[in-house]
């Protein structure tokens, strides 16, 4: 989370935040569960009704009604998320970045919560800082703004200056968010179990289980600070990545002070072009950056939504563009064996080695209802093979739609029972990157970008080769 130099795009639709009392989030397990369940049930029933009408009257005749439904559904979900706050906002952040999959109505509306959730009152934030750091804010900082530069699901960020002249971003965790996260996880767990009985195409339970595993780390700012430092060390030889420095003397479990990154929001193509940056070039750097983190180092920033990524344009012809990464609450380390299995799987998919695909996926922990090797092969192909061999950008919407259709048919015939948690996060990152790629008008050939990282004997590539 950080400030931006971009101007927010004007919207032609009414803000979904209008009329919502934002002074306090909803507290209480059942007070949070019931509105969520009601909203999802209402949206699901309306969608089932619309599907029947589309079959009866034809999709073309029902086109206007379909767009209105999706617009209304997106607004309902965002209004609920903003009112409830907590993990519901994080789910909207993920979905709002999926411009490769979702219709414009969802992307436009859900993306509002990437970094602009209505903020908590300054007095509450000020008291939080002073309680955590043990001194008045006037003593801690030379100056600090009472207006946040960003506000999200778990925390908000205020710009400040230290007494020795450093511009910093002070990330302050919302009061009571630990309880809210726990209540939300219990609610989502319950609803995902109910969903699994209503719809068989997608089983959200493995995803929810992974969320439960990661949630404690996301609200531990000491963990986040150390994760940022580890990522910064891994990427220290790259000249195209920026990770903010942590100021530990001004940080605690619920307050994190770091370098202030003043950049352009990664999806603001207009501002990028005005700064002399070609958006597809940003996509190239971003994809290589994540290939580097996942396939070479096995540690990666796992929440690349637009509110956490900023572009720092080159200041001269000798400089390259840089991508600033913020918010390391969701950072994943994968075991060396699993990383090597992922490399083997990717290579097997590229070379269309069915036996290797099946055996590697089984070794990684994939399980389907029917333990059929052909299913694993088809799953690998649908998941990555078509993308790698298509010659198209990873974010190509037509191709993604075809892949989603084939995956849907596959999973209806033989649903996934077990899915490795690490794969869930990697798939999440790939999905977010695909959405960002489409927003950036990506021309990146994923096969070309991934090949340098698929030779373990050469340690993928030397640092000199990669970062020259």
State residue 434's pLDDT score.
Answer: 79
Residues 412-452 pLDDT 10s: 677 777 777 788 778 778 877 877 888 898 888 777 888 88
The number of domains in the chain is 1
Three state DSSP letters for the chain:
CCEECCCCCCCCCCCCCCCCCCCCCCCCHHHHHHHHHHHHHHHHHHHHHHHHHHHHHCCCCCHHHHHHHHHHHHHHHHHHHHHHCCHHHHHHHHHHCCCCCCCHHHHHHHHHHCCECCCCCHHHHHHHHHHHHCCCHHHHCCEEEEEEEEECCCEEEEEEECCCCCEEEEEEECCCHHHHHHHHHHHHHHHHHHHHHHCCCCCCHHHHHHHHHHHHHHCCHHHHHHHHHHHHHHCCCCCCEECCCECHHHCCCCEEEEECCEEEECCCHHHHHHCCCCHHHHHHHHHHHHHHHHHHHCEEECCCCHHHEEEECCCCCCCCCEEEECCCCCEEECCHHHHHHHHHHHHHHHCCCHHHHHHHHHHHCCEECCCCHHHHHHHHHHHHHHHHHHCCECCCHHHHHHHHHHHHHHHHHCCEEECCHHHHHHHHHHHHHHHHHHHCCCCCEHHHHHHHHCCHHHCCCCHHHHHC
Residues 369-381 pLDDT 10s: 777 787 788 777 7
Residues 200-257 pLDDT 10s: 656 677 778 878 888 888 899 999 999 999 999 999 999 999 999 999 999 999 999 9
**Which structure tokens are listed for 466?**
């990669």
In a domain, residue 103? The reply is: yes
State residue 241's pLDDT score.
Answer: 96
Identify the domain containing residue 46 by its residue range: 3-114
In a domain, residue 89? The reply is: yes
CA-to-CA dists, residue 459 to 292, 452, 462, angstroms: 11, 9, 7
Distance, CA of 182 to chain centre = 20
Average pLDDT, the chain: 81
In a domain, residue 145? The reply is: no
In a domain, residue 376? The reply is: no
In a domain, residue 238? The reply is: no
In a domain, residue 135? The reply is: no
In a domain, residue 106? The reply is: yes
pTM across the whole model? 0.78
State residue 103's pLDDT score.
Answer: 64
Q: How confident is the model at residue 405 (pLDDT cuts 50, 70, 90)?
A: low
457 has pLDDT over 70: no
In a domain, residue 41? The reply is: yes
Mean pLDDT of the region 278-294: 94
Residues 129-177 pLDDT 10s: 999 999 999 999 999 999 999 887 789 999 999 999 999 999 999 998 8
Task: Indicate the Cα dihedral angle 285, 291, 294, 298, nearest 10°.
Answer: -100
The percent of residues in the chain predicted with pLDDT above 90, rounded, is 34
Mean pLDDT of the region 382-399: 60
């Amino acid at each position: 989370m950080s400030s931006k130099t971009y101007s927010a795009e004007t919207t032609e639709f009414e803000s979904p935040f209008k009329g919502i009392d934002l002074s306090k989030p909803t507290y209480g397990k059942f007070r949070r569960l019931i509105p969520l369940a009601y909203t999802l049930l209402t949206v699901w029933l309306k969608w089932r009704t619309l599907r029947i009408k589309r079959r009866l009257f034809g999709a073309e005749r029902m086109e206007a009604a379909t767009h209105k439904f999706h617009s209304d559904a997106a607004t309902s979900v965002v209004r609920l998320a903003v009112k409830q706050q907590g993990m519901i906002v994080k789910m909207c952040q993920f979905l709002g970045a999926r411009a490769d999959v979702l219709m414009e109505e969802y992307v436009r509306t859900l993306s509002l919560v990437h970094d602009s959730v209505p903020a908590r009152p300054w007095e509450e934030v000020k008291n939080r800082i002073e309680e955590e750091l043990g001194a008045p804010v006037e003593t801690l900082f030379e100056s600090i703004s009472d207006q946040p530069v960003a506000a999200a699901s778990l925390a908000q960020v205020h710009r400040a200056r230290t007494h020795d002249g450093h511009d910093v971003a002070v990330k302050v965790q919302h009061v009571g968010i630990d309880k809210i996260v726990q209540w939300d996880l219990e609610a989502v767990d319950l609803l995902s179990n109910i969903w699994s009985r209503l719809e068989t195409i997608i089983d959200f339970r493995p995803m929810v289980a992974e969320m439960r595993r990661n949630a404690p780390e996301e609200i531990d700012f000491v963990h986040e600070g150390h994760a940022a430092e580890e990522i910064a060390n891994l990427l220290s030889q790259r000249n195209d990545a920026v990770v903010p420095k942590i100021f530990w003397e001004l940080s605690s479990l619920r307050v994190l002070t770091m370098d202030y990154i003043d950049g352009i929001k990664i999806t603001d193509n207009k501002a990028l072009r005005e700064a002399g940056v070609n958006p597809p070039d940003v996509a190239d750097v971003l994809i290589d950056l994540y290939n580097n983190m996942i396939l070479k180092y096995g540690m990666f920033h796992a929440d690349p939504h637009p509110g956490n990524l900023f572009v720092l344009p080159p200041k001269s012809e000798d400089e390259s563009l840089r991508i600033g990464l913020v918010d390391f609450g969701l950072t994943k380390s994968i075991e060396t064996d699993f990383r090597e299995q992922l490399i083997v799987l990717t290579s097997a998919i590229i070379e269309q080695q069915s036996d290797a695909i099946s055996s590697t996926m089984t070794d990684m922990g994939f399980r389907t209802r029917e333990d059929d090797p052909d299913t694993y092969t088809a799953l690998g192909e649908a998941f990555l093979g078509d993308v790698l061999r298509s010659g198209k950008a990873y974010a190509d919407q037509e191709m993604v739609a075809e892949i989603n259709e084939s995956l849907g048919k596959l999973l209806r015939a033989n649903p996934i029972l077990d899915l490795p948690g690490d794969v869930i996060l990697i798939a999440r990152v790939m999905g977010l990157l695909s959405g960002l790629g489409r927003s950036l008008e990506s021309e990146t050939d994923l096969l070309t970008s991934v090949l340098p990282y698929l030779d373990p004997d050469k340690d993928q590539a030397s640092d000199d080769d990669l970062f020259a």
